[in-house]
Amino acid sequence: MDFFKRVLSTVTGIFVFLFICFFFLFIAGYFVSKMGKDDTKVANNSILELTLDYPVLDNAGKVRYKDFSFLDENNKDGLFDLVNAIDYAATDNNIKGISIEPKFIQTGITQTKTIREALERFKRSGKFVTAYADIYTQKDYYLSSVADTVFLSPVGGLDFRGLSAELLYMKDLQEKTGVKMQVVRLGKYKSAVEPFLDNEMSEANREQISSYLNSIWSNLRNEIANSRGLDAEYLNEVADKLLARTPEKAIEVGLADKLAYYSEYEDGLRNAVGIKNTDNLKRISVLSYANKIGNQLNYKYNKDKIAVIYAQGEIVYGSGSVRKIGPKEMNEAIIKAKNDKAVKAIVLRVDSPGGSALTSDLIWKELEEAKKVKPVIVSMGDVAASGGYYISAGADKIFAEPTTITGSIGVFGMLPNVKGLADKIGINAQQVSTNENAVPYSLFEDMTEDQEEFIRESILITYDLFKQRVAEGRGMTMDEVEEVAQGRVWTGEEALENGLVDELGGLDAALQYAAEQVNLDMYQIKEYPVFEYDLHKILRSYGITQTAEDFAKEAVGEELFQLLEEAKSQTERKGIQLLFPYPTDIK
């Protein structure tokens, strides 16, 4: 056994050396990156640059690392950090104006609307807002149309054609490849699974997509028309005939104001802030400014608080993160906000397409408990559909933006199946079982009638429970819920009409309503959840902090390692043993 001990000692030594090297490189890299970040200064006559060329979350998230507090993150690049920065800039004497330089923005439509509204408030301060792009996408232009002056490159372009959606249908592909999805669904509008069932779009799905696209387009068109002093119906004509398809035509139809190269645009900015054409422009990015302002606002204190709990991303039955809604993290946040006496009301900000039905109900239950103690208000972002609506339905009041996608009250089950492919390549699955239904669903066998019936039964129970939660939360009958359910997707504007939401407005409106309910004139926002990570576990999941045992398993293989372990154990056993005589591994 001395040989194996020497092997394990050597492996352990290598592991320790590699880990120490990695650890110090990691720490050095971290502090170098920190040193590279300048302490942002806002010079006089500065211009705030607004470029949104990265995916924006409603909340950037707070992350804490167990035993490594210096790695904690509290980024200020979320949607409402940007909004706070724009609002603050309106009062900052060093900021003279805002330059929108969109560069293919990656915000959602409702997020873009929220930023656009902040820019409108900024304009009311008397400061200027200008926009420049070589190429404007429709979303770029929607945001930029709020500007006092819209600049466009003489060789650029402006896309203005209306909204569309394209779905790929894969029924034939499944039959040809032998790989298909076996689907059980309830609700004629629950169209997420439709591409696996048909080769063409159903009339029901076409109806709902057309409805919400037209609703969103109407809102965008009206806002652009108001900003540009144009008629909304005229903009339909511009879109239908692509009348803004060249820079010159974009000027002619009134969507842009001036053609200029970027250097000429910069001269215009110099003129706007009152400096010479030979002077350097003083700029600060909205991200740098948001971090600076966010750190300043962190020091402002008020004993009364309103909790804002961000539910963003897919709902999963597992660990949550900044981009995923998990039951543990979300319910811990709700409980903390409920039990904190300084927190007078809770606003749940939802930006989620849904996901796990079980997790949705667990979160719904915790929110119901919180409602017994303090008001719970929902603010919907870009999407609050299916499970996202489930967790919203019981709130005391629901706010949505006109462009929010919500509803989708329906349920489906979808299981992959490769029997067709297996038959083609000569794979035949065989099972042995002790009971009639002991064999679970198999990838290599078609779903049996019993299996389909059990799944359908489970889905029906979930669907009925979903409708019940909505009926109770919204004060509707089950029949009334069924009329707006069946998986149908609605915009916030449509949801207001059919009773699924209470009022149109953003997070600011939800916060104002929450404050009114608890008679607060001044309050501090407390954001949840805070995500706590164990760095050791994270690194281990990537094979970085493996133990000597892990390295030995990789070196000799799992089975041989177990034999070595058993031999080692035999030499260490002393005296009488109360031990089961055989290794047990029942599958």
Active site (catalytic) residues? 190, 386
Nearest residue to 380 via CA among 110, 115, 76, 190: 110
**Is the dihedral angle over the CA atoms 340, 346, 351, 356 positive or is it negative?**
positive
8 Å CB contact between 66 and 535: yes
Q: Is 395 exposed, middle or buried (0-12, 13-18, 19+ CB in 10 A)?
A: buried
Residue ranges of alpha helices (H) inside 36-151 are 79-89, 109-123, 138-144
Q: Is 179 helix (H, G, I), strand (E, B) or coil?
A: coil
Nearest residue to 338 via CA among 365, 316, 311: 365
Residue 477 CB contacts under 8 Å (≥ 6 apart), including other chains: 471
8 Å CB contact between 220 and 142: yes
Q: Report cis status (omega within 30 of 0) of the bond before 529.
A: yes
For every residue of 207-220, DSSP letters joined together read HHHHHHHHHHHHHH
Tokens of 80: 């409402």
**Residue 107, φ and ψ in degrees, nearest 5:** -80, 155
Q: How many residues does the chain have?
A: 587
8 Å CB contact between 113 and 403: yes
CA 573 centroid distance within chain: 55
Residue 581 CB contacts under 8 Å (≥ 6 apart), including other chains: none
SS3 letters for 407-446? ECCCEEEEEEECHHHHHHHCCCCCCCCCCCCCCCCCCCCC
Nearest residue to 182 via CA among 431, 411, 444, 446: 446
Find tokens 């629901």 and name the residue: 398
Tokens of 118: 């902040």
CA 94 centroid distance within chain: 34
Residue 368 CB contacts under 8 Å (≥ 6 apart), including other chains: 394
Q: Rounded to whole angstroms, how far apart are CA atoms 487 and 187?
A: 5
Q: Tell me the longest C-alpha to C-alpha distance in the chain.
A: 97
Q: Rounded to whole angstroms, how far apart are CA atoms 96 and 272?
A: 8
